[in-house]
């Protein structure tokens, strides 16, 4: 069993490649310029960058939600770069995603029950609705979600509850890998801490590998083992969090760290300019 669960080499993604009437390709805007990334079993990897860095695109490319124009992706030793949808579908259970905005990522016209039961039935993790609900009840208890939520539509839950439902949806499928795309952005500090804790526990208990996308380096520090720093579609630095945060080698990483205001009195911070 290979130690590296998910590896990607030379990933390039181009958006908006147009096709003329006769099918000739042209135009397009390159978002990722040859990215290498690997994620080992059980580890949490951070992908950090500002807007336009390509971090979200990288995450979606890893999950085969966008097409890569160059490079390869291997999941558990198997090349999944170009395999057809039908071949990919059974693997999907093992690669799940948690989204930034649960208002958008939970179907507003479905009940929570339907949102959680259907995937379990699809992947035959439960034989019928009742056994599915037993699993759901167990995870609800662990996530401190009241079972009354099941009858509701997403907009009737609080923000923190919605986010936990989103996490539960991914966890219920017992995946090997989870992509967390800015899952705590926009949450209050206290709710954020709860969610981060939850994810840490979950990844430990289920032996999950996680890719944690965020623009916030402080959040990355709290949950990740290793980090990839992205800028303009490339990885400028990567390594163990402990190392990158205490001794960054790249000027951009240093600028990013320098730009973060810490909640302590630091008279020279404002005037200090880290050159990139």
- Stretch binding other proteins (CB under 8 A), from 27-35, 36-44, 84-92, 205-213: 84-92
Segment contacting other proteins by CB under 8 A, of 32-40, 97-105, 129-137, 232-240: 97-105
d(CA 31, CA 191): 32
Report yes or no: 250 and 237 within 8 Å, Cβ to Cβ.
Answer: yes
97 binds other proteins (CB under 8 A): yes
Interface segment toward other proteins; rule CB under 8 A; list 4-12, 31-39, 73-81, 237-245: 237-245
DSSP codes, 11-48: EEEEEEEEE-TT--EEEEEEEEEEEEEEEETT-EEEEE
Under rule CB under 8 A, residue 101 binds other proteins: yes
Which CB sits closer to other proteins, 79 or 242? Answer: 242
Per the CB < 8 A criterion, the answer to whether 209 and 178 are in contact is yes
Question: If binding is defined by CB under 8 A, does position 141 make contact with other proteins?
Answer: no
Closer to other proteins by Cβ: residue 34 or 69: 69
Interface pick for other proteins out of 128, 205, 242, 249 (rule CB under 8 A) = 242
Instruction: Considering only residues 186 through 225, tell me which ones interact with other proteins, judged by CB under 8 A.
Output: 188-194, 196-197, 200, 215-222
Q: How far apart are CA 41 and CA 91, in angstroms?
A: 16
Task: State the number of binding residues for other proteins (CB under 8 A).
Answer: 79
Is the CB of residue 235 less than 8 Å from the CB of residue 228? yes
Pairwise CA distance, residues 107 & 86, whole Å = 24
14/214 with CB nearer other proteins? 214
The answer to whether residue 4 forms part of the interface with other proteins (CB under 8 A) is: no
Q: Is 67 in the site for other proteins (CB under 8 A)?
A: no
127 or 242, CB closer to other proteins? 242
Instruction: Measure the CA dihedral 62/200/110/88, to 10°.
Output: 30
Structure tokens belonging to residue 271 = 């005037």
* 111 touches other proteins (CB under 8 A): yes
Q: Which C-beta is closer to other proteins: that of 192 or that of 203?
A: 192
Binding status of residue 29 toward other proteins by CB under 8 A: no
By CB under 8 A, residue 76 contacts other proteins: no
Helix (H) or strand (E) holding 169: helix 159-172
1 makes contact with other proteins (CB under 8 A): no
The first and second tokens of residue 22, run together, are 């006769």
Torsion of Cα atoms, 64 then 70 then 75 then 76, to 10°: 170
Of residues 243-272, those binding other proteins (CB under 8 A): 245, 255-266, 269-271
Q: Which stretch binds other proteins (CB under 8 A): 106-114, 124-132, 135-143, 204-212?
A: 106-114
260 by Cβ neighbours in 10 Å (0-12 / 13-18 / 19+) ranks as: exposed
Does the protein bind other proteins through residue 108 (CB under 8 A)? yes
Q: How many helices (H) and strands (E) does the chain have?
A: 10, 10
């Amino acid at each position: 069993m290979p130690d590296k669960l998910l590896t990607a080499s030379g990933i390039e993604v181009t958006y908006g490649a147009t096709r003329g009437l006769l099918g000739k390709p042209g135009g397009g805007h390159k978002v990722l310029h040859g990215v290498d990334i690997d994620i080992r079993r059980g580890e949490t990897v951070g992908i950090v960058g500002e807007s336009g860095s390509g971090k979200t695109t990288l995450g979606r490319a890893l999950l085969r939600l966008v097409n890569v124009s160059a490079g390869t992706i291997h999941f558990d030793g198997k090349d999944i770069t170009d395999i057809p949808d039908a071949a990919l579908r059974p693997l999907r259970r093992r690669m799940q995603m948690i989204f930034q905005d649960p208002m958008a990522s939970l179907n507003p016209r479905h009940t929570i029950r339907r949102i959680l039961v259907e995937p379990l039935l699809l992947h035959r993790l439960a034989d019928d609705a009742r056994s599915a609900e037993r699993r759901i009840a167990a995870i609800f208890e662990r996530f401190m979600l009241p079972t009354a939520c099941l009858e509701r539509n997403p907009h009737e839950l609080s923000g923190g509850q919605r986010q936990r439902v989103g996490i539960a949806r991914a966890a219920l499928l017992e995946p090997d890998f989870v992509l967390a795309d800015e899952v705590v952005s926009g949450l209050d500090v206290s709710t954020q801490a709860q969610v981060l804790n939850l994810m840490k526990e979950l990844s430990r208990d289920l032996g999950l590998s996680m890719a944690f996308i965020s623009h916030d380096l402080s959040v990355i520090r709290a949950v990740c083992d290793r980090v990839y720093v992205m800028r303009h579609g490339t990885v400028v630095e990567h390594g163990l969090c402990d190392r990158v945060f205490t001794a960054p080698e790249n000027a951009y990483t240093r600028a990013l760290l320098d730009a973060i205001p810490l909640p302590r009195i630091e008279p020279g911070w404002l005037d200090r300019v880290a050159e990139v």
